[in-house]
Amino acid sequence: MRDEGGHAGVAASCRPITDILTRVGDKWSVMVVILLGNGTKRFNEMRRLIGGISQRMLTLTLRGLERDGLVTRTVFPTVPPRVDYALTDLGRSLLIPISALGAWAHGHRDAIDAARLAFDAMADANAAPDRQAS
């Protein structure tokens, strides 16, 4: 079996990884996992703590994380109902690679910023003759 680039077996072997990275790789899921790593939270508490997330996006994110077994949702029969969210053991195990990625990003931020500036400068320099010709 070959993927679109002609590499044998790559597409089939990457599919499960891609599926999981789609869930845990988006910024909202990462933020929720990190936030819940500090303990159980209620919906509105998370919404206040995560700046810029809409109610709908938080709902979808929590639902996806719950579906994947990373978060539990506990409803308490009070008026109004109280709902708590917490990481499962599987969700807590995700804190390790997320923390490592965060440390890597912080440790390499200056190098990445410098690479971006150099790339953008080169792209601007290469585009300049095209602009002058028009």
Are the C-beta atoms of residues 72 and 66 closer than 8 Å to each other?
Answer: yes
d(C-alpha 106, C-alpha 128), whole Å: 33
Cα separation, 55 vs 43, whole angstroms: 9
Q: What pLDDT is recorded for position 1? A: 44
What average pLDDT does range 43-68 have in this prediction? 95
Q: Mean pLDDT over residues 4-18, rounded?
A: 68
The confidence score (pLDDT) of residue 131 equals 56
68: which residues sit within 8 A by CB, 6+ positions away?
Answer: 20, 23, 24
| Element housing 89 (H / E) | helix 89-133
Q: Which residues contact 13 (CB under 8 A, 6 or more apart)?
A: none
More confident residue, 24 or 44: 44
Average pLDDT over residues 11-34: 84
The pTM (predicted TM-score) of the whole model is 0.75
Q: What is the pLDDT of residues 82-126, one digit of tens each?
A: 999 999 999 999 999 999 988 999 999 999 999 999 999 998 888
Please, are residues 73 and 90 in contact by the beta-carbon 8 Å criterion? no
Q: What is the DSSP string of 2-17?
A: B-TTS-BTHHHHHHHH
Map 22-66 to HEC letters.
Answer: HHHCCHHHHHHHHHHCCCCEEHHHHHHHCCCCCHHHHHHHHHHHH
